[in-house]
Amino acid sequence: MAISKTPHLSWSARTVVGVPYLWLLLCFMLPFLIVLKISVSEMETVVFKDLITWTDGVLQLQLKLSNYLFITQDDLYFRTYLASLKYAAVTTALCLLIGYPFAYFMARASKAVQPGLLMMVMLPFWTSFLLRVYAWKGLLSEGGWVAQVLDALHVDQVLIALALIPGPGQYMNTPFSLVIGMVYTYLPFMILPLYANLSKMDMRLLEAASDLGATAWVAFWKVTVPLSRGGIVAGSMLVFIPCVGEFVIPELLGGPQTLMIGRVLWDEFFANNDWPMASSVAVVMILLILVPLALFNKAQSDAQEARR
Amino acid sequence: MSTSDQAEAYLRIDRLIKDFGSQDGSTYRAVDNISLDIRQGEIFALLGPSGCGKTSLLRMLGGFDLPSSGRIMLGGQDLAQLAPYQRPINMMFQSYALFPHLSVWDNIAFGLRREGLPKAEVATRVEAMLKLVQLGKFAQRKPHQLSGGQQQRVALARSLAKQPKLLLLDEPLGALDKKLREETQIELVNIVESVGVTCVMVTHDQEEAMAMASRIGIMSEGRILQVGTPREIYETPATRFVADFIGNVNLMDGTLAVDEPDHVEIDCADVRHYVGHGITGHEGMPVTVALRPEKIRISSKPPVLEAGDPPAPINQVKGRIKDMVYFGSDTLYHLKLASGAILKVTQSNTERHPDDNLSWEDEAYAWWSPSAHVVLTQ
B97 vs A202: CB contact, 8 Å cut-off?
yes
A227 vs B101: CB contact, 8 Å cut-off?
yes
Mean pLDDT of A274-291: 90
A210 vs B110: CB contact, 8 Å cut-off?
no
In this structure, are A136 and A48 located in the same domain?
no
Distance (Å, rounded) from C-alpha A198 to C-alpha B315? Answer: 65
Each residue of A209-248: pLDDT tens digit?
A: 999 999 999 999 999 999 999 899 989 999 999 999 899 9
A88 contact B CB<8A: no
Kindly report the pTM of this predicted structure.
0.82
Residue A52 lies in a domain: yes
pLDDT for position A2:
46
In this structure, are A9 and A82 located in the same domain?
no
Under 8 Å CB-to-CB from A108, ≥6 apart: which residues? A198
Helix or strand holding residue B330 (H, E)? strand B330-336
A213 vs B97: CB contact, 8 Å cut-off?
no
In this structure, are A266 and A153 located in the same domain?
yes
CB-closest option in B64, B111, B145 to A212: B111
CB-closest option in A205, A213, A227 to B97: A205
CB A189 within 8 A of CB A235: yes
Q: Helix crossing, A275-307 with A75-108: angle to 10°?
A: 50
pLDDT for position B1:
40
The total number of residues written for chain B in this structure: 378
Residue A151 lies in a domain: yes
Could you say which DSSP state residue B339 is in? T
CATH code of the domain containing A120: 1.10.3720.10
B85 vs A227: CB contact, 8 Å cut-off?
no
In this structure, are A90 and A231 located in the same domain?
yes
A8 contact B CB<8A: no
Helix or strand holding residue B348 (H, E)? strand B342-348
Distance (Å, rounded) from C-alpha A162 to C-alpha A178? Answer: 15
CB A156 within 8 A of CB A65: no
Residues in chain A closer than 8 A to B91 (CB atoms):
208, 211
CB-closest option in A212, A226, A227 to B114: A212
Closest residue, chain B, to A215 (C-alpha): B85
A308 contact B CB<8A: yes
In this structure, are B198 and B228 located in the same domain?
yes
In this structure, are A55 and A190 located in the same domain?
no
Distance (Å, rounded) from C-alpha A7 to C-alpha A202? Answer: 41
Residue A263 lies in a domain: yes
pLDDT for position A166:
85
CATH code of the domain containing B253: 2.40.50.140
Residue type, B120: A
* Complex ipTM: 0.84
Residue A302 lies in a domain: no
Domain that holds residue A45: 2-61
B contact test, residue of A211, A221, A222, A233 with most B CBs within 10 A: A211
In this structure, are A197 and A48 located in the same domain?
no
* Number of other residues whose CB lies within 10 A of the CB of residue B179: 8
Q: Considering B193, B217, B242, which residue would you say is the last residue of a domain?
A: B242
In this structure, are B154 and B237 located in the same domain?
yes
Q: How far is A236 from chain B (nearest CA, A)?
A: 20
CATH code of the domain containing B71: 3.40.50.300
- pLDDT digits (tens), chain B, 378 positions: 444 444 568 999 999 999 998 777 788 899 999 999 999 999 999 999 988 999 999 999 999 999 999 999 998 889 999 999 999 999 999 989 999 999 999 999 999 999 999 999 999 999 999 999 999 999 999 999 999 999 999 999 999 999 999 999 999 988 888 888 888 899 999 999 999 999 999 999 898 999 999 999 999 999 999 999 999 999 999 999 999 999 899 999 999 998 888 889 999 988 999 998 888 888 889 999 999 999 999 998 888 877 666 776 789 899 999 999 999 899 999 999 989 999 999 999 888 888 778 889 999 999 998 889 899 987
In this structure, are B182 and B308 located in the same domain?
no
Helix (H, G, I), strand (E, B) or coil at B27: strand
Distance (Å, rounded) from C-alpha A171 to C-alpha A147? Answer: 7
Residue A293 lies in a domain: no
CB-closest option in A204, A215, A308 to B93: A204
Residues in chain B closer than 8 A to A212 (CB atoms):
85, 90, 110-111, 114, 158, 162
In this structure, are A24 and A99 located in the same domain?
no
E strands, chain A, are 43-44, 47-48, 52-55, 58-61
CB-closest option in A213, A222, A307 to B85: A213
In this structure, are B223 and B284 located in the same domain?
no
B141 vs A307: CB contact, 8 Å cut-off?
yes
Question: How many domains does one find in chain A?
Answer: 2
In this structure, are A139 and A19 located in the same domain?
no
Each residue of A167-224: pLDDT tens digit?
A: 888 888 899 999 999 999 999 999 999 999 999 999 999 999 999 999 999 999 999 9
In this structure, are strands B198-203 and B166-170 parallel, antiparallel, or unpaired? parallel
Closest residue, chain B, to A223 (C-alpha): B99
The stretches of B63-162 forming alpha helices (DSSP H) are 104-114, 119-132, 148-160
Closest residue, chain B, to A304 (C-alpha): B142
Domain that holds residue B370: 248-376
CB-closest option in A207, A209, A307 to B142: A307
Distance (Å, rounded) from C-alpha B93 to C-alpha B103? Answer: 18
Residue A290 lies in a domain: no
Residues in chain A closer than 8 A to B159 (CB atoms):
211
In this structure, are B74 and B43 located in the same domain?
yes
CB-closest option in A205, A218, A227 to B114: A218
Q: Considering B242, B271, B302, which residue would you say is the last residue of a domain?
A: B242
In this structure, are A154 and A226 located in the same domain?
yes
Each residue of A2-61: pLDDT tens digit?
A: 444 455 567 888 888 889 899 999 998 999 999 999 998 888 777 788 888 888 888 888
CB-closest option in B101, B111, B142 to A226: B101
Question: How many domains does one find in chain B?
Answer: 2
Share of chain A above pLDDT 90, in %: 46
Q: How far is A20 from chain B (nearest CA, A)?
A: 30
In this structure, are B310 and B267 located in the same domain?
yes
Residues in chain A closer than 8 A to B114 (CB atoms):
212-214, 218
CB A103 within 8 A of CB A195: yes
In this structure, are A226 and A123 located in the same domain?
yes
In this structure, are A17 and A155 located in the same domain?
no
Q: How far is A203 from chain B (nearest CA, A)?
A: 9
B84 vs A222: CB contact, 8 Å cut-off?
no
In this structure, are B230 and B331 located in the same domain?
no
Residue A297 lies in a domain: no
A211 contact B CB<8A: yes
* Number of other residues whose CB lies within 10 A of the CB of residue A109: 13
A208 vs B64: CB contact, 8 Å cut-off?
no
In this structure, are A116 and A180 located in the same domain?
yes
In this structure, are B318 and B221 located in the same domain?
no
B84 vs A210: CB contact, 8 Å cut-off?
yes
In this structure, are B233 and B113 located in the same domain?
yes
In this structure, are B322 and B369 located in the same domain?
yes
A222 contact B CB<8A: yes
In this structure, are B203 and B85 located in the same domain?
yes
A contact test, residue of B58, B60, B65, B85 with most A CBs within 10 A: B85
Phi, psi of A260 (to 5 degrees): -120, 165
Distance (Å, rounded) from C-alpha A210 to C-alpha B120? Answer: 24
A212 vs B110: CB contact, 8 Å cut-off?
yes
Under 8 Å CB-to-CB from A265, ≥6 apart: which residues? A245, A247, A278, A281, A282, A285
In this structure, are B289 and B218 located in the same domain?
no
B84 vs A211: CB contact, 8 Å cut-off?
yes
A213 vs B111: CB contact, 8 Å cut-off?
yes
Q: Considering B242, B263, B287, which residue would you say is the last residue of a domain?
A: B242
